[in-house]
Amino acid sequence: MSGFRRWLALALRFSYKGVDDVSRKYVVVDLETTGNTHDRGDKIIQISAVVVENLKIISQYTTFVNPGVPIPPFIEELTGIHDGMVATAPAFKDIAVDINELLIDSIFVAHNVPFDLGFLQGELNEAGFHNFSFESVDTVELSKILLPEAPSYKLSELSEMLGFDHENPHQADSDALVTAELLLMLIEKARKLPLVTLEKLTHMAFQLKSDIGSLFQSILTDKRKSIENLPDDLEVYRGIAMKKKIIPEAKSYELHVDYPSNTDEKIGLLTGKMNGYKPRQGQIEMMDTVYAALNEDKHAVIEAGTGIGKSLAYLLPSLYFAFEHKQPVIISTYTIQMQDQLLNNEMERLSKIVPFPFRATILKGRSNYLNMLKFEQSLNDNEGHYDSVLTKMQLLVWLVFTDTGDMDELNFSSGGHVYKQRIKHDGWFFQQEKDPWYSRDFYMHARKLASNADIVITNHSMLLIDTETEVNVLPEYQYVIIDEAHHFERAARKCFGKKIEYNSLKFWIGRLGTLDKKLLFSRLEKMIESKGLSPSIHSFELDKAIIHLDEEIDDLFMLLSKIVSKNHRKKSQKSLKQQIRITENTRSESKWNPLAMCAERVFDYHRQICKGLEERLTSIKQHEKKPTESEQAFLEEANSFVKGWLQIGEKIKQLILSPSDQEVIWLEGDVRALPNSIGIFSQPKSPGDLLAESFFANKNSVVFTSATLTVNNSFNFFLSELGLKRDQLLEKIIASPFDYRKIAKLMIPSDLPEIRGASHDEYIEAIAGHLIAIADATEGRMLVLFTSYDMLSKTYNLMKDTGALDDFVMLAQGITAGSRSRLTKSFQQFNKAILFGTSSFWEGVDIPGKDLSCLVIVRLPFSPPDEPITEAIYEDIKKSGKNPFSVHSLPEAVIRFKQGFGRLIRGETDRGVVIVLDRRIDTATYGRAFLRSIPDVPVVRGPLKEIISTIEKWL
């Protein structure tokens, strides 16, 4: 069961008996329109209104509406509504009387009230109905509060998660009915919240955008009429309702078990307890390799092809080993989603399979957890900032259900993430026992669970940070499985690297504020004055330092902006995003001197502010009068700020004033947004050296696994990147069980120009022409992978401008709004869709089945040689007398190519074609390296017409 579904199931357990008083009439409305803006001439094409009274759906009114204008192809594809369906429908003015009467004396409900109500008011105005106002309830807003863990608040995705029957998403009748069901479910959830939670929610709800305050007030009034019975696992502590924390007793297992030694035993164990389990020889091989590595204290690298079932293949032997040897095994993944999947899905399955009890938990960095003292005191703030209010309400509801206090479980708005910085856990300024919430502290609870666990699930970043810090967060361990291991080198670079960015620095100064801003510094000064303390650095002196620092930071980043602008003009580069490596030669140039002097001033002012803040905190801590809880919460927040503030000074020193020759340092910025886009970054030249010293040498067994670790069936590149030696190392390549020759084809058109033989614009025109023809043949369902955003945007715009694909939905990373997961889900909703992606779309995108039947790789994914990290790596390789292309560039591109190729076939019933538009895979001698590193698939070569004919027959 997923975290969200588990949370939802728990939500229905509260016992509450009362008389319904939420009996007003609600009218739940959904519109389909020709576009997003009524003021620009867009019109309604369908309206549906569901009437809810006494918390029951009593009627539904639905009609098509003749908009008087053609329905755009995109809207037709989205809704399924075409011009013929509205041709004989009434105009809106003909139904306006009915709509107006329906809405009178009702509460207007919609999933995104500003859109539906705004559009409807515009149409009613035009029809002559001007004097109206409605109370409204926005089910998006209400869902955010009462379903704070929901990964998405789109109606179609909410209805899928909640199990509603949603037959025709994006048609008004179906959408309105589902919104009405959602409203009733949310009201029921609100009624079952503890009284203290509902009281706090009601108090804050009147600051929201829709009239949820009135709804909560009526529920609260009704709830106070009866005695509340809370479940046994819930408590109210200091006026906040939350789950009780249960620490399991220390492990004392006396049961003896042996790892199943042969294939038949493993298959018998799995088929006996897992419905529909299909034995896979590769999975059994991987289990044995993992167990051997752990049992023999060896490191291992395992490439497991798609369909092996590698999660189960490493978790089962890890559990047996941990149980037998009373040693925890750490499982590290790259993504939060994978961590949750392992704990909530895989470990739950394994609990029904293995013949012994075990404990598994997730442990993350301290700042992921909620600090209850800071949160409690923030509830007393009278701030009216919308995102902060909404986030506080989400947290109050979430606390009733969360076992972990891990704020990654929540779906925060961008403004909510800002508030999260205030309430995150960051250790203790005072003795931790003085924290009134210490006995309920989520971070300490997580650590206790981890110290008692057989399997601890964490992420690469946490694992790497734990090797760097003196205070270890993870329990002492010697055995670790690193899944998604192809990310580990990149995660190490990022973890060991540093950055300072203009916007981030301005944000920190904004949080600190000057004396007149009534922010952190001003509040600290008032506390100093109230206690009669006299710091050595006077408040006015510190105030001036903050003002001067702010000015010097502006000057520093203006100087850096000039470097970015000059580099852009000098190289006549088309790309607006610039990366400029800062080398010893750069720093020796005279133009660097003013910048270095400015950085010195920034560092000095920063150090003065640090000294002043630290002195104030220390003097308050040592003061004889005990701080109030409100003061204590503020001081914890201030101490958290100072910890982060100290790191800024260190970064300025390491990146500009005293850089290391073991670091690659570069400047990055977009010439369209200077200085806001400027940042200075560093990463180690060789993270493998750091890992060899601080990580591998101290562990008995580290097992790396991924679907993409080899090049030409060799781990050489991966091992060299991480600094791993072959001594005491197990290596295993396990091919995918899928028969790729039957389910996939690789196609290489021969009539495209060579990359080096055509101009950039000519090449993009040729690519666009081929993609249009391919899209017609495949009827969309096509993912197109680019290696640069510039080429992606130009190709997308050119294809859009031709008008040849007007009946297709074209979604593009960086152009179409939304995250990677949002774009992927949108792509799956349409039959004739094309998704353009770069960077992150080469991996981690999972589109199974018929939704994706064509994958296009536009260019072989070589890193640009002038990227700072790549440039530095090349220099070091050349110094050693080797060829940078063959040693680094080619193997890196092959691994990336394998990741892209892997997007097509995700399950054994998938079927499709991969089209490579880069002829170098055929014409260059190194092209064979790409072909040898992917599964054995039929390769079709020829002009586009022949390719198209083959595609049409194949699909």
All structural domains of the chain, each given as residue ranges with its CATH number in brackets, are 3-194 (3.30.420.10), 501-684 (no CATH), 740-954 (3.40.50.300)
Identify the residue with better confidence: 268 or 515.
Answer: 515
Token digits for 299?
A: 């490191």
pLDDT (mean) for 578-594: 91
In the structure encoding, which two tokens stand for residue 112, read together?
Answer: 């995104």
In terms of pLDDT, which residue wins out, 347 or 10? 347
CA–CA–CA angle 291, 294, 296 (5° rounding): 100
Report the pLDDT value the prediction gives residue 168, as an integer from 0 to 100.
81
**310 known member of a binding site:** yes
813 by Cβ neighbours in 10 Å (0-12 / 13-18 / 19+) ranks as: buried
As a three-state string, the secondary structure of 665-726 is EEEEEECCCCCCCCEEEEEECCHHHHHHHHCHHHCCEEEEEECCCCECCECHHHHHHHCCCC
Residues 227-242 have pLDDT tens digits of 888 888 899 999 999 9
- Which tokens in the block code for residue 627? 């701080």
> What does the pLDDT read at residue 387?
92
Sequence-ordered alpha helix ranges (H) in 296-366: 310-325, 336-341, 347-351
pLDDT value of residue 388: 92
Contact (CB, 8 A) for 511 and 483: no
Q: Which residues contact 747 (CB under 8 A, 6 or more apart)?
A: 913, 914, 915, 916, 939, 940, 941, 947, 950, 951
Cβ neighbours for 482, distance < 8 A, ≥ 6 positions apart: 332, 460, 463, 488, 702, 703, 704, 705
pLDDT of residue 13: 40
Asked whether residue 351 is marked as a ligand-binding residue, the answer is no
User: Is the confidence at residue 19, as pLDDT, over 70?
Assistant: no
Q: What is the pLDDT of residue 806?
A: 84
Model confidence at 745, pLDDT cuts 50, 70, 90, reads very high
Residue 632 scores a pLDDT above 70? yes
- Give residue-wise pLDDT tens across range 824-872: 888 888 888 999 999 888 987 888 778 899 999 999 999 988 899 999 9
The better pLDDT of the pair 185, 864 is held by 185
For 27, the 3-state DSSP assignment is strand
Share of the chain above pLDDT 90, in %: 61
Q: So what's the pLDDT on residue 470?
A: 56
Fill in the DSSP letter of residue 251: P
Strongest mean pLDDT among 559-573, 716-730, 753-767: 716-730
Tokens of 212: 């949820």
Confidence class for position 12, pLDDT limits 50, 70, 90: very low
Token pair 């539906």: residue? 116
The residue-averaged pLDDT of 264-284 equals 84
Determine contact, residues 473/363, Cβ cutoff 8 Å. Answer: yes
Is 309 marked within a binding site? yes
Amino acid identity for residue 430 in this structure: F
Report the alpha-carbon distance of residue 199 to residue 241 in Å, rounded. Answer: 11
- In this predicted structure, the answer to whether residue 269 has a pLDDT above a threshold of 80 is yes
Q: 643 CB contacts (<8 Å, ≥6 apart)?
A: 426, 427
> What strands lie across the sheet with 663-670, from one edge to the other?
498-501, 679-684, 663-670, 577-581
Q: Is the pLDDT of residue 365 over 80?
A: yes
Structure confidence by residue, pLDDT tens digits, 141-174: 999 999 999 988 989 889 988 988 877 888 999 9
Q: Name the band, by pLDDT with cuts 50, 70 and 90, for residue 434.
A: confident
For the ranges 507-511, 696-700, 719-723, 893-897, the lowest mean pLDDT is seen at 696-700
In the DSSP assignment, the letter for residue 886 is: I
Half-sphere exposure of 454 (CA within 13 A, CB side): 23
Q: Indicate the burial class of 649 (C-beta count within 10 angstroms; 0-12, 13-18, 19 or more).
A: middle
308 is in an annotated binding site: yes
In degrees, rounded to 5, the angle at the alpha carbon of residue 943 between the alpha carbons of residues 940 and 948 is 70
**Cα 153 to chain center, whole Å?**
15
Which tops the pLDDT comparison, 613 or 755?
Answer: 613
- Cβ atoms < 10 Å from Cβ of 377: 21
- Could you give the CA distance from residue 23 to residue 30 in angstroms, rounded to a whole number? 22
Question: Residue 884 is which amino acid?
Answer: P
Of residues 330 and 629, which shows the higher confidence score?
Answer: 330
Residue 227 CA to residue 234 CA, distance in Å, equals 16
> Is 304 known as a binding-site position?
yes
Does the pLDDT at position 642 exceed 50? yes
Q: What is the pLDDT of residue 285?
A: 95
Check whether 289 is labelled as a binding-site residue: no
Whole-number Å distance between alpha carbons of 451 and 449: 6
Q: What does the alpha-carbon distance between residue 745 and residue 893 come to, in Å, rounded to a whole number?
A: 21
pLDDT of residue 758: 72
Strand order in 329-333's β-sheet?
Answer: 360-362, 455-459, 329-333, 479-482, 701-706, 299-304, 729-734
* Residue 761 backbone phi and psi in degrees, to 5: -70, -40
Confidence check: pLDDT of 637 > 80? yes
Per-residue pLDDT, averaged over 265-285, amounts to 84
Q: Is 305 annotated as a binding residue?
A: yes
Quickly state the pLDDT bin for 9 (edges 50, 70, 90): very low
- pLDDT for 785-801, tens place per residue? 999 988 999 999 999 99
Give the up-direction half-sphere exposure of residue 77: CA atoms within 13 A in the CB hemisphere.
19
- Give 251's pLDDT tier (boundaries 50, 70, 90): low
| Angle at alpha carbon of residue 449, lines to 448 and 455, rounded to 5° | 130
Amino acid identity at 493: R
Residue 949 has pLDDT above 70, yes or no: yes
In degrees to the nearest 10, what's the CA dihedral of 869, 871, 872, 878?
Answer: 140
The answer to whether 307 is annotated as binding is yes
DSSP 247: P
Considering only 1-15, 302-316, 385-399, 561-575, which range has the smallest mean pLDDT? 1-15
Higher pLDDT, 472 or 550: 550
Q: What is the 3-state secondary structure (H, E, C) of 605-668?
A: HHHHHHHHHHHHHHHHHHCCCCCCHHHHHHHHHHHHHHHHHHHHHHHHHHHHHCCCCCEEEEEE
Percent of the chain with pLDDT over 70: 95
Q: What is the mean pLDDT of the chain?
A: 89
* Calpha distance 280→284 (Å, rounded): 7
Cα 730 to Cα 174, 294, 309: the distances in Å are 56, 11, 20
Distance from C-alpha of 156 to C-alpha of 78, rounded to nearest angstrom: 12
Residue with structure tokens 């509205």? 86
- According to DSSP, residue 435 is labeled S
CA 768 → CA 771, 793, 951, distances in Å? 5, 11, 18
pLDDT at 548: 97
Q: What's the CA gap between 448 and 442, in Å, rounded?
A: 10
Residue 21 binned pLDDT confidence (cut-offs 50, 70, 90):
very low
Where helices occur in 47-153 by DSSP H, the ranges are: 73-79, 83-86, 92-103, 113-126, 139-146
Question: For the residues 708-720, what does the mean pLDDT come to?
Answer: 94
Cα–Cα distance measured from residue 563 to residue 580, given in angstroms and rounded to the nearest whole number: 9
